């Protein structure tokens, strides 16, 4: 046989008469009750080795292919199969190598080794059987004979077609998940790109805001510096002019006196006995003494050091207060909103919790009925504002802003959903509160060094908001105090 088709038919015939255990033509074939055939010596050896491994010779005997168990060691000779094997041997097909075309034989065939071409793709390299099974434990494709061998006995096996179908289904599902995930990833990446562009845009806007705010102060400082330096230059020119004029006057007086001295000296040399000359000499001495006193006395003066060498930075800080926006607000508590257990100072800038309620209070609807809170008298519906509060020595406090129509009955829950934008229980003694109504921002700072504590951003205010205060509920705590700007006394 030389053609591929005939070789395939011959190979199929040989496979039908090959023992699945020894992979050679049947030798004294026997048939089990499950209709599977084996060489007598092969199945006997298989069962004996199985008993030796299991250590129990009383258990049933198992078919290597279908794993059916037989209660007795009974073997039936298959004479028909033995006859077919003899016919195959007569045809010279007992050797699989004779079925492989000469053009496809491996160079190693002459050495008596089984080559890859002989076994064929998709065949077991050990038993040369089709790889129809899959071992789940070993994660490998095996043939039916491998499935009943000791190596894989007891393993979880599945038909290869089922595994391939499952793999294909899993692959398709993975592809679908990948496509879905790819769409999500693309959307997320696009969103991230938009967010990065938004960050860049916001950074430019914030940079411009910082420069504008600082430049406002820098311009004020620059203007004050130029004015002060200009005044110093004017005073310098004035003092130099005065000194120069005084020096010129002294030189002129010196020349006049010098002429008088020379004239008197000449007269005295000629008229030593002239009394009038002596009188003129006496008058000259008096004039020289007066002139000497005038020379020592400097009426021009100097620079005003109180202006040019005083607390310049402090004076500048005072002037900066006039241009700072927002400046420190002046606030006071609204008694009509104060809880009865809050004690307010006469100037309405300090609040202190007490165990006893105040008496004679009107029942205002705006009053906090249960929670010891209070609002300021001044509300804001536009603009930027900043105020500072001394929260005392306890951590139990809250400050911020509250909407005009917030609920004030019962226990107050401080959250934006209820109209409260507050912060509390922070490591700060003085707290600064910044409100940008149009910008939708409420920020809190440690007023000692302006370290940010917390911020609400993106808020949409729909009504007037009022500064909100909740002092510590400890009666022994220091009062909460509004830190208003100092008022200059006239």
* Per-residue pLDDT at 52: 46
* Per-residue pLDDT at 100: 39
pLDDT confidence tier of residue 438, bands split at 50, 70 and 90: very high
Q: Which residues are CB-neighbours of 414 under 8 A, at least 6 positions away?
A: 398, 400, 420, 422, 424, 470
CA 138 to chain centre: 45
In terms of average pLDDT, the best of 164-168, 229-233, 467-471 is 467-471
- Top pLDDT among 361 and 490 is at 361
pLDDT confidence tier of residue 79, bands split at 50, 70 and 90: confident
Prediction pTM value: 0.55
Share of the chain above pLDDT 90, in %: 32
Strand 69-70, strand 76-77: pairing = unpaired
* Per-residue pLDDT at 470: 95
Contact 65, 19 (CB under 8 A): no
* Per-residue pLDDT at 420: 97
Task: Give mean pLDDT, residues 161-178.
Answer: 85
Q: CA-CA-CA-CA torsion for 42, 44, 47, 49, nearest 10 degrees? A: -70
User: Which tokens hold the place of 51?
Assistant: 């008993």
Task: Report helix, strand or coil for 485.
Answer: coil
Enter the DSSP assignment of 89: H
């Amino acid at each position: 046989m030389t053609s591929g088709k005939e070789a395939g038919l011959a190979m199929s015939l040989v496979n039908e008469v090959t023992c699945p255990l020894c992979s050679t033509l049947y030798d004294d074939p026997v048939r089990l009750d499950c209709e599977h055939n084996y060489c007598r010596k092969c199945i006997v050896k298989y069962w004996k080795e199985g008993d030796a491994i299991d250590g129990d010779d009383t258990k049933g005997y198992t078919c290597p292919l279908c794993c059916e168990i037989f209660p007795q060691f009974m073997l039936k000779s298959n004479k028909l199969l033995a006859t077919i094997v003899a016919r195959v041997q007569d045809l010279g097909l007992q050797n699989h190598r004779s079925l492989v075309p000469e053009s496809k034989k491996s160079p190693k065939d002459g050495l008596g080794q089984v080559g890859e071409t002989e076994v064929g793709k998709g065949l077991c390299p050990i038993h040369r059987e089709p790889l129809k099974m899959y071992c789940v434990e070993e994660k490998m494709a095996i043939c039916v004979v491998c499935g009943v061998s000791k190596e894989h006995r007891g393993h979880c096996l599945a038909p290869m077609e089922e595994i391939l179908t499952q793999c294909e289904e899993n692959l398709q599902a993975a592809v679908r998940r990948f496509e879905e995930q790819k769409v999500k990833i693309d959307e997320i990446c696009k969103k991230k790109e938009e967010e990065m562009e938004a960050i860049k845009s916001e950074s430019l806007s914030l940079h411009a805001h910082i420069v504008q705010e600082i430049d406002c102060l820098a311009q004020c400082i620059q203007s004050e510096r130029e004015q002060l330096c200009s005044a110093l230059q004017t005073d310098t020119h004035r003092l130099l002019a005065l000194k120069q004029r005084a020096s010129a006057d002294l030189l002129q007086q010196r020349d006049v006196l010098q002429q008088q001295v020379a004239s008197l000296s000449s007269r005295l040399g000629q008229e030593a006995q002239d009394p009038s000359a002596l009188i003129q000499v006496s008058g000259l001495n008096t004039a020289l003494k007066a002139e000497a006193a005038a020379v020592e006395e400097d009426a021009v003066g100097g620079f005003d050091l109180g202006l040019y060498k005083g607390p310049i930075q402090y004076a500048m800080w005072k002037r900066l207060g006039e241009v700072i926006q927002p400046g420190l607000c002046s606030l006071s508590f609204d008694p009509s909103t104060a809880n009865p257990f809050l004690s307010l100072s006469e100037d309405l800038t300090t609040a202190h919790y007490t165990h006893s309620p105040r008496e004679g209070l009107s029942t205002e609807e705006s009053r906090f009925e249960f929670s010891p809170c209070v609002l300021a008298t001044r509300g804001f519906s536009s603009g930027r504002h900043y105020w500072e509060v001394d929260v005392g020595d306890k951590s139990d406090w809250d400050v911020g802003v509250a909407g005009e129509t917030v609920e004030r009955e019962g226990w107050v829950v401080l959250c934006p959903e209820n109209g409260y934008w507050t912060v509390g229980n922070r490591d700060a003694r003085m707290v600064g509160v910044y409100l940008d109504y149009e910008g939708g921002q409420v920020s809190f700072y440690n007023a000692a060094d302006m370290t940010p504590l917390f911020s609400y951003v993106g808020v949409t205010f729909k009504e007037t908001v009022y500064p909100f205060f909740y002092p510590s509920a400890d009666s022994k705590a220091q009062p909460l105090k509004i830190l208003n700007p100092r008022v200059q006394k006239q």
